[in-house]
Structure 1
Amino acid sequence: MKRVFAVLLFIGSMSFVSQTKKTPNIIFIEVDDLMPRFMNKLGEGFGHTPNIDRLAEQGVHFPHAVAQGPMCGPSRNTLITGLYSHNLGFYKNGDMRFLPENVWTFPKVFQENGYQTAYVGKSHVRPQKRNQSKADALKAYGFDFVNASGERHAIWRDLKKGKDVSEIPFIKHLKKRGKYDQFLKDNNVPGHKMRSTMQDDVDYLDGYMAHVGSYWIENEQDKAKPFFMWFNFCLPHGPYDVPQRYYDIANKIKIPGPKTNKFGHFVPEPLLVGNKPAEAKKLPKERIGEVANVAFMDKMVGKLIASLKRSGELENTVIVFFSDHSIFLGNHGRSHKTTLFEEALNTSMIISYPNLFPKDKISMQPMELLDLIPTAFELAGFKNPNKIAKNGISVVPLLTLKEKVREYAFSEVYGAQSATGERYRYITSEGYEILYDRVNDPNEMKNIAKENPKVTKKMGDAVKNWMKNSGAVLEPKTH
């Protein structure tokens, strides 16, 4: 039997307890560099995303959910610690080789309160000491079960440098299956034009990880306990190397070009250093590659959900689908990320739990990834979830009682900060202020800061208060 609630939830508890007497499982399904426009139901209608579409039909989508640090490393390390980039000095992937000793991490709270915890997939989470393995680091941060991998391109990079990759679980899997030589051949292609020739999804990195996650859900979780799983995809992050059968899907789709090819105003340098001008000749291949990668990723999301259904856990599991951030892919004439515009900040957030939350709804409430921590704590029945979490605000009151929980969601890169509201986005950098009306200017082309001084001041003051009241502001750490 699952653990029964000992204490009613502070907000929305009567609705929750009346509909389920079991503590819910919680699964975070995190994907990498997903641009929402490359989805179907929640995007522009051209992505092949039937499983994510069904998930959205069973949940609530947050178009204004943003990453607090719009790059892979900062996003994941701030999430696990409940801290902002400026609290850690972690603004880009090259920062921070190690997390602080004895750092607080939210999975430990689940572990200490009777949850079985699991981490599967890509890990950008930093260790606490030199030569500590990914698995050992994640276990120290509160996970009982760990099967962690680096990125696909990182494995290939290490291979080319002659590094030992034999202990990576995926490599062990390939060798056991007799597929390792085929993997090497696939990736020994000049010009990064490789595509996987694997006929079975399980022999591609994200397919293998989906198999590990599904197997754990169906066969290895302790049925006497609720579980928390954090599943991390490498996809749809490039390189765009999924098997040809997923390109066959993408080739049947008419994929539009970028919505914009420039900025409509001056942009300060801190907002440009983490990205670069797009190469027009490469964009069509990159955009079709994104569709192909998304199609593979969507199929694996379906695999995880199917495993929940087969295990009898689907109805009692909160599914949170999100991206660590988004990516330009030619919009505003740029490539990559690490900036504070919509293309980099958006997280494609869906929260699905029909036992308690509405279905097929869109909430324009701004939300940070850090809000996921107290939200999960509240769903798990922990007292004072907003106080346990280092930052963030539970959105359970919003989803159960339609109460507004925050006015702005905050994000940053080194040298610039932003606030996202239901209608406006504000950015400040080097004394220059940008304000977008995202209702009338969804592509963020017109800076209306001077035309709307009251809104600009209000949001600027909110950013200042956030920076003042959210803990230490540290310079980038490179050691």
Structure 2
Amino acid sequence: MKTPNVFISVPCSLFAIELVLIILRFTDRTSSDSLMMPNQWLILPNIIICAIDFISVGLLNWLICSRLQSYKSRVVVFSIFTTYMLFSIIIFFGDYLNLRETLQQFTKYYFATYVTHLKSMFNTEMKITGLSEKDGNAQMFGNLINRSPIPWAVIFATIIVVLLIHVYTIVNNCSQKCEKKKTYKEINSDHSESPNTLQTANNSFDNVPLIIEVNQVSKKHSNISVIVTVILIFTLEFILFISCMASSDKHLQVVAPSHWNFFRTGGKNKLNKLKYQEAVKQFRQSNELMAGYDWIDQRSNPEFPMVYAPKKYVCAYNPELQYCSSLPKDEPKILEEAPNVVFIVVESFSPSPMMFQNNIVVSKDKIVDGPLYKDTYLPNLKKISENALTFSSLSSSGLPTLYGWLSLMTGEIPYSNQINIVQSMLNDVDDFPSYFQQNGYDTMYVAPCKFDFDGQHIWLFRGKEVRNKKHPQLKEMPLWFDNVYQYIPTQEQAKDLNVTQNYLQSWVPDRITAAQFMKHFDENKKQGKPLMGVWVTIDTHQAFQGFDNDEFYEPFKFGQGRYGSQQLQDQINRYATVAKYMDNYVGQVVNHLKEKHNNTIVVLVGDHGAREVPLFHKNLVDRADPTSAKYDNSCNDEPFSNDELFATSGAITYLGDNRYLKSLFEPVIGKVVKVPTDHHDMIRTLYDIVGAHTGMNLPSSRNGRNLIELATNLTQSKPLRRHLSLRTTMVHSEMATEDTVFRFHSIGAYGQKFPGIYPTCVSPGEVREPITKSQFRNFDLYHRLYDHVQISNKQFSYKFRNQACQYPAVCNFPESFKAFSRNDVAIITFSVLGFGLLIGLIIVLIIYVVEKCQKKNTFIN
């Protein structure tokens, strides 16, 4: 039996793996139970273009190798082409995995963030060290497989079948080779050696297809038609590749092989002059500023289109404006002591609507009386919300954490095809830690996991000692945090914290980080200055099994708690268990602040939604309460998915006796805002509160509104200021006006318009308008403007915070530093070379084993 030529068998078998991944991408669903690809008809062009890619590579490989006389040269060429095809599959696999689990496209920046581990340009040493951390990545990957076993089983089964076929090919080749040698020896034993018989045997030997040997191409296969065919197919491949790289059509990017888009992400998504001016006009018309504020860059072609400021700053840069000669006097600053500010950032916080009070869920009003949360799920948050202004949706700008967290900290919106945490690492950003620093605050940060896991270390230590002298802007970056804490307590440290040690020693659970936050907050307050502290929780992180010892979790009354099945339908049980655990320690921290540091504003936000929970069975919003409201499950079947992608909920409250702050909060205490809000609104609100005490209402690029003003206007039925906000993954996007939500797939107008009342999917059978192509084009232009200004480092400049630049002083617009630019070619080259080296070694090993097998069989025979 003649074995197939390697240049046919290898591309065909590798394409079989990619074909399975293509089918899964167009038929499988994301972790948030939405379609990965809403336009499933694109599967056919995707298969065709990927097939052309493999065919062209296989044929070119065959054409070159068939004309090489050197055995070693053929090995090298074959290894290069095989590496290319394997690289294609690995990128496609990464694309599928990220698309399914985090709704992201796979880009080279994931390599930079999670593989190459970028080094911080600042000193990242912390004052406290604890026990070494155990790697929990294997367990996390195991949970992914357990949660969705069918697609993973299909992938692994395909790979195993392909490997078995090639093992069979190797063994069969070896057998044929040995049989030929045996025949040759028999001929020699029966006949006298002659030139003709010897040549015949040698020819027979040479024509056996080894694992990478090439049959000598006969003259009829060497004609011009064969070469022309190969050239034409490869030219078609090249044209398709260039079209994908140059085109902005997102449908073309979907049908292209994933590794083409991997290369494409190196392009800078900038706008030409006309499109830029159109986008700036749209942005400014869509976002109405507060009274007394204006856009700071009033030039005809503004370089900093998103920065706004009190008019006294605007006039320093634009003294020709008419209102500059009659500016009102500054309002007197509040004489009372500035409050502490505490951010509690809850991992994957999606209480809506299961953990909300039923009357809140069903209300169609834009603002209602609270409390927001239910006793059965979140008793401490319910108590907090009774004395807070709460939000049934306080959305993040992106997910997972490396997008949601960074957007909260900096005001940047996730790029459409790159990762901010890498690409923006040298940008001037409107970050709130340095804003508080400049307003006279000490700052601290307590976290549950190592910062270099997802690149946070290149941000959190800004303003510390500069380790990389290469970039001059590093010296001008302001300090973020005076103290940063992350450690797994030793036995002595645990005793000092009055906690039991954690047995798992992976990410630090909420119970311990809560104790660390309270202890270090007390220590930092001894400096006598107002303190801004950030505490980040972890136990509600996917896959909702927590990170603490078993005895600290109380399994919820339905299901098996955090040890329930990894299947989607059982995730409510696990999420409810870890959410109640988190609630306990949030309550402890807030009570501690109220007792010891009551002049404190507490802000509760999620870093992003949980994506896949809660799911709803039999149309119940609360599975534990059969009398609860109904939920329209069709929302989960739309291309976009449900509320839990970006919506996280949130609250803001004041614990003390500052008369100004009490008068500010009292009219809205106990209210629940149901219209769209987001992280940037919360930061804008705090900027205004801090500025009232310090007199430093600094320029900002945060596209946010004052939430207390918003709630007051809602309570008094006053019109809301125009506002348009964006939240996005690389796949799903959401645009929100002051009272309307548009959800759509990022490749096109596949989505719907929702009334902006959260939760949005109550009222089964409610008819919703589809998004038009014109609306999608406007939304896409809005996102591209963010890409443009962030890539150009023009969203903000720290120089705008210069207190000397106030009217009547006259200042020149700052020149921004050049944005960070990675050597993406080097990243790709080293990645491919690494794969090539590995594959080359495997092939050489296979050849060595085959040749040993042949020699051994020849000796025996």
Specify whether residues 218 and 73 from structure 1 end up closer, same or farther in structure 2 by C-alpha distance, changes over 3 A only. Answer: same
Alignment of 1:206-245 (within 5 A): 206-222=510-526, 224-237=528-541, 238-241=543-546, 242-245=548-551
Specify whether residues 22 and 44 from structure 1 end up closer, same or farther in structure 2 by C-alpha distance, changes over 3 A only. Answer: closer
Identity %: 19
Distance in 1, matches of 2:417 and 2:686, equals: 23
Specify the structure having the higher radius of gyration (Cα): 2
Specify whether residues 65 and 385 from structure 1 end up closer, same or farther in structure 2 by C-alpha distance, changes over 3 A only. Answer: farther
SS in 2 for 1:235: coil
1:414 has 2:730 as partner: yes
Asked if the contact 1:117–1:145 (Cα under 8 Å) also holds between the matched residues in 2, the reply is yes
Asked if the contact 2:509–2:539 (Cα under 8 Å) also holds between the matched residues in 1, the reply is no
Q: 1:109 aligns with which of 428, 431, 435?
A: 435
Once the two structures are TM-superposed, the CA of residue 81 in structure 1 deviates from its matched residue by: 1.8
Distance in 1, matches of 2:742 and 2:698, equals: 25
Specify whether residues 20 and 300 from structure 1 end up closer, same or farther in structure 2 by C-alpha distance, changes over 3 A only. Answer: farther
Specify whether residues 462 and 305 from structure 1 end up closer, same or farther in structure 2 by C-alpha distance, changes over 3 A only. Answer: farther
> 1:258-297 deviations in whole A, cap 9, x for unaligned?
xxxxxxxxxxxxxxxxxxxxx9873465322222211221
Once the two structures are TM-superposed, the CA of residue 33 in structure 1 deviates from its matched residue by: 1.0
> 1:95-129 deviations in whole A, cap 9, x for unaligned?
x4575225433211211220111111236866999
Q: Which moves more between the two structures, 76-85 or 377-386?
A: 377-386
Q: 1:170 aligns with which of 468, 474, 488?
A: 488
Asked if the contact 1:326–1:344 (Cα under 8 Å) also holds between the matched residues in 2, the reply is yes
Once the two structures are TM-superposed, the CA of residue 433 in structure 1 deviates from its matched residue by: 2.9
Distance in 1, matches of 2:425 and 2:613, equals: 34
Asked if the contact 2:676–2:740 (Cα under 8 Å) also holds between the matched residues in 1, the reply is no
SS in 2 for 1:231: strand
Asked if the contact 1:77–1:125 (Cα under 8 Å) also holds between the matched residues in 2, the reply is no
> 1:420-448 deviations in whole A, cap 9, x for unaligned?
34344332432233114356961698796
Once the two structures are TM-superposed, the CA of residue 417 in structure 1 deviates from its matched residue by: 2.5
Tell me which residue corresponds to 1:463. Answer: 779
Specify whether residues 330 and 378 from structure 1 end up closer, same or farther in structure 2 by C-alpha distance, changes over 3 A only. Answer: closer
Alignment of 1:273-292 (within 5 A): 282-283=567-568, 285-292=570-577
Task: Specify every segment of 5 or more residues in structure 2 that has no aligned partner in the other structure, as ranges.
Answer: 1-290, 294-330, 358-370, 465-477, 616-632, 655-660, 792-820, 828-861
Tell me which residue corresponds to 1:321. Answer: 604
Q: Which moves more between the two structures, 105-114 or 116-125?
A: 116-125
Specify whether residues 47 and 86 from structure 1 end up closer, same or farther in structure 2 by C-alpha distance, changes over 3 A only. Answer: farther
SS in 1 for 2:519: helix
Q: 2:680 aligns with which of 367, 370, 377?
A: 370
Specify whether residues 432 and 446 from structure 1 end up closer, same or farther in structure 2 by C-alpha distance, changes over 3 A only. Answer: farther
Distance in 2, matches of 1:434 and 1:367, equals: 20
Tell me which residue corresponds to 1:344. Answer: 645
Once the two structures are TM-superposed, the CA of residue 65 in structure 1 deviates from its matched residue by: 2.2
Alignment of 1:181-192 (within 5 A): 183-184=502-503, 186=504
Distance in 2, matches of 1:183 and 1:324, equals: 24
Specify whether residues 389 and 288 from structure 1 end up closer, same or farther in structure 2 by C-alpha distance, changes over 3 A only. Answer: same
Asked if the contact 2:460–2:480 (Cα under 8 Å) also holds between the matched residues in 1, the reply is no
1:74 has 2:403 as partner: yes
Distance in 2, matches of 1:108 and 1:423, equals: 33
1:23 has 2:338 as partner: yes
Specify whether residues 309 and 175 from structure 1 end up closer, same or farther in structure 2 by C-alpha distance, changes over 3 A only. Answer: closer
Specify whether residues 243 and 29 from structure 1 end up closer, same or farther in structure 2 by C-alpha distance, changes over 3 A only. Answer: same
Distance in 2, matches of 1:339 and 1:173, equals: 48
Q: How many residues align?
A: 397
Which amino acid counterpart does residue 304 of structure 1 have in structure 2? Answer: V
Asked if the contact 2:442–2:529 (Cα under 8 Å) also holds between the matched residues in 1, the reply is yes
Tell me which residue corresponds to 1:89. Answer: 418
Alignment of 1:43-62 (within 5 A): 45=374, 47-62=376-391
Asked if the contact 1:386–1:394 (Cα under 8 Å) also holds between the matched residues in 2, the reply is no
Asked if the contact 1:419–1:463 (Cα under 8 Å) also holds between the matched residues in 2, the reply is yes
SS in 1 for 2:583: helix
Distance in 1, matches of 2:760 and 2:388, equals: 27
**Normalising by the residue count of structure 1, what TM-score does the alignment of the two structures yield?**
0.68
Q: 1:442 aligns with which of 749, 761, 765?
A: 761
Distance in 1, matches of 2:601 and 2:710, equals: 16
SS in 1 for 2:447: strand
SS in 1 for 2:538: strand
Distance in 2, matches of 1:128 and 1:236, equals: 18
1:379 has 2:689 as partner: yes
Tell me which residue corresponds to 2:483. Answer: 145
SS in 1 for 2:537: strand
Asked if the contact 2:390–2:671 (Cα under 8 Å) also holds between the matched residues in 1, the reply is yes
Which amino acid counterpart does residue 398 of structure 1 have in structure 2? Answer: L
Specify whether residues 377 and 19 from structure 1 end up closer, same or farther in structure 2 by C-alpha distance, changes over 3 A only. Answer: closer
Higher relative contact order (CA 8 A, sep 6+): 1
Specify whether residues 360 and 431 from structure 1 end up closer, same or farther in structure 2 by C-alpha distance, changes over 3 A only. Answer: same
> 1:233-276 deviations in whole A, cap 9, x for unaligned?
0121144144445543x34x34799xxxxxxxxxxxxxxxxxxx
**Normalising by the residue count of structure 2, what TM-score does the alignment of the two structures yield?**
0.40
Q: Which moves more between the two structures, 61-70 or 169-178?
A: 169-178
More helix by share: 2
Once the two structures are TM-superposed, the CA of residue 390 in structure 1 deviates from its matched residue by: 4.3
Tell me which residue corresponds to 1:100. Answer: 425
SS in 2 for 1:230: strand
Alignment of 1:398-409 (within 5 A): 398-400=710-712, 402=714, 404-409=720-725
Specify whether residues 125 and 109 from structure 1 end up closer, same or farther in structure 2 by C-alpha distance, changes over 3 A only. Answer: farther
Once the two structures are TM-superposed, the CA of residue 467 in structure 1 deviates from its matched residue by: 2.0
Distance in 2, matches of 1:444 and 1:426, equals: 18
Asked if the contact 2:404–2:608 (Cα under 8 Å) also holds between the matched residues in 1, the reply is yes
Q: Which moves more between the two structures, 64-73 or 348-357?
A: 348-357
Once the two structures are TM-superposed, the CA of residue 306 in structure 1 deviates from its matched residue by: 1.4
Specify whether residues 414 and 141 from structure 1 end up closer, same or farther in structure 2 by C-alpha distance, changes over 3 A only. Answer: farther
Alignment of 1:113-128 (within 5 A): 113-122=439-448
Which amino acid counterpart does residue 403 of structure 2 have in structure 1? Answer: P
Once the two structures are TM-superposed, the CA of residue 63 in structure 1 deviates from its matched residue by: 2.0
> 1:149-172 deviations in whole A, cap 9, x for unaligned?
xxxxxxxxxxxxxxxxxxxx2144
More strand by share: 1
Asked if the contact 2:408–2:607 (Cα under 8 Å) also holds between the matched residues in 1, the reply is no
Which amino acid counterpart does residue 29 of structure 1 have in structure 2? Answer: I
Distance in 1, matches of 2:499 and 2:383, equals: 35
SS in 2 for 1:170: coil
Tell me which residue corresponds to 2:218. Answer: none
Distance in 1, matches of 2:743 and 2:334, equals: 40
Which amino acid counterpart does residue 64 of structure 1 have in structure 2? Answer: S
Asked if the contact 1:322–1:347 (Cα under 8 Å) also holds between the matched residues in 2, the reply is yes
Alignment of 1:253-292 (within 5 A): 253-254=557-558, 282-283=567-568, 285-292=570-577
Specify whether residues 220 and 17 from structure 1 end up closer, same or farther in structure 2 by C-alpha distance, changes over 3 A only. Answer: same
